[in-house]
Structure 1
Amino acid sequence: MADEIKLNKPWMVAVWPGMGHVAISAGYYLMAKLGMHLVAELQAEELFDVDHVEVKHGLIRTGRLPRSRFFAWVDPLGRHDLVVFIGEAQPPRGKHAFCSRLVDFAKDLGVERVFTFASMATQMHPSHDSRVFGAATDRASLDELTQLELTPLEDGHISGLNGVLLGVAAEAGLPGTCLLGEMPHIFAQLPFPKAALSVLEVFATIAAIQIDLTELSEQAADVEEKLGQLLSQVETAMEAPQAPGEEEGAFPAESSEEADEEGPSPDDRRRIDRLFDESARDRAKAYELKRELDRLGVYHEYEDRFLDLFKKSD
């Protein structure tokens, strides 16, 4: 399959779900705004297992294994094409073997450089700028990060495939860079698009690409305001005497973006269909669609239809 795909000096960005949805949000945004198309799927079923099944209105749906797919963008200026690898989950075992397979496929595609995105939880306040930390597998890439005045990850470790992949890439002779967006540790379980925005700003500079970040910037400002309000509520609650029977550490239900237990309303379904129609005409609209599916908690229900938007048309 890789032999049939002709790309020009491509760079690859690999993302998986993780803390703050930083990496996966940045990956989907890049894929949507550049109008990428699906080029291949990595087969590694033996390294995964089904750890849950979906239940809708009391009915159990058949479980399925996570999928791992490659999307490509052809640089109109002919400098270097881009490949975005999106994994739905990290394998619970065989991480090095999985990354070796991924790197082998990337080399077959002609990939010359590998990036991963990740998050860095710190004591930052939600209203502060999200810094980007960086680490690299080679001195030239590290010097590049230094010139951009990023904060180097001096010591520590990068957990999961965000780090393992770069180690395997280095073993295979591919330079690698990890860009980590800063987010508040107290909100580690909530989406933090400001970190994804900062990561994409840095990546766009390194890759010398033009990408419209307006939508992600607006989303980041909206989440910043909501988290600021939530933090104020928490601080007020901590200062006030606790009422008898009050559960310590509980958060108000409205702080979650989970969908209503009854599922999407008919109006929600119509809005989803409209966004699908708009995204079919303009794939840059696909990120708005992805946000809506996530907000309603129905992305898995529409996943195949969503990714069909990125199949290359003949």
Structure 2
Amino acid sequence: MMVTAYDNGALPAAERVPHWHDHMSRSLAASDLYVHRPNDFRASMRFLDLGTVQVSHLSLSTMRFQRTPRLIRESDPEQLCAGLILSGRQALSQHGRDALPGLYDLVLYDTSHPHQGWVSNGEGLAGNLVVQIPRSLLALPMNRVLGLTAVSLTTQRGVAALLAQFMLRLSQDADQFRPTDGPRLATVLVDLLSATLAHELDAGRALLPESHQRVLVLRIQAFIRHHLADPELSPGLVAAAHQISLRQLHRLFEQQDTTVGALIRRQRLERCCHDLADPSLVSRTIHSIAARWGFRRPADFTRSFRAAYGMPPSDYRALALPTGTPSHMTPGTQR
């Protein structure tokens, strides 16, 4: 897995547009560019290569682009691209449809068919995240997927929200991944995009069973993170919320090297650790922090904490807080 960065800002003004055109043709797909003020044109890209899948964070001055039949005949990566709008105004036309997506909307386009569009943000830069996926990897009928190109798709809810969050984290944390993470991350990204498109097409049954399962696990993990503070959170509640049986839930997590109950407990303990080490929360008792993250009984929390970290929470807090941090805790409530 490789992260590369590009910025044409240091180039002479006359070279910026042709240099970006060459870079874009190699990294994305060749298009003709039209720039009203070429001497002021700026473009930057952060490119994350996951092997079969690529993720690019683009920042661009106002411009128009067009991918023509001639360019497609000369070179076609045969990819479906999904762009997440981060800033500015952007538009895309393909297959007789015109999309004017809003902030954090998703818009698709296919490199094998002509398309055109523009980006604009006044005197600033328009930003988006573009995922490039070989069409052969999608677990959906391509003739139906092409019906979603140049259509604005919201990412405010459902699986699409998970996809957008995952794309953003990939871009933000790109330097923290190891080369061996690339294929796994690519698989998750393809599954999330496939599930998002299946939802839009109401074709969930067309997804491969393994894709269904991976996406369901991601949804369950997100649900657990969102409801950690609820003391009622349990495997039974998780199963009911996702309309599956408790047995199905446990079977899903057999491949995750953990159980749902252990995952809930571990994430609650991690949140407690974070709060115990936060100087701004020093006035809160340990038991109130534990209750904040769903531990009903202090004794259960202390026992779980000691088993996980080898010390009681009071000792952990004493070690984690900066020296000299005032403590307002009552000794009897420390542990």
Is TM-score (shorter-chain normalized) higher than 0.5?
A: no
Higher fraction of helix: 2
Q: With CA pairs under 8 Å and 6+ residues apart, which has the higher RCO, 1 or 2?
A: 1
Q: TM-score, with normalisation over the residues of structure 2?
A: 0.24
Q: TM-score, with normalisation over the residues of structure 1?
A: 0.25
Larger Rg: 2
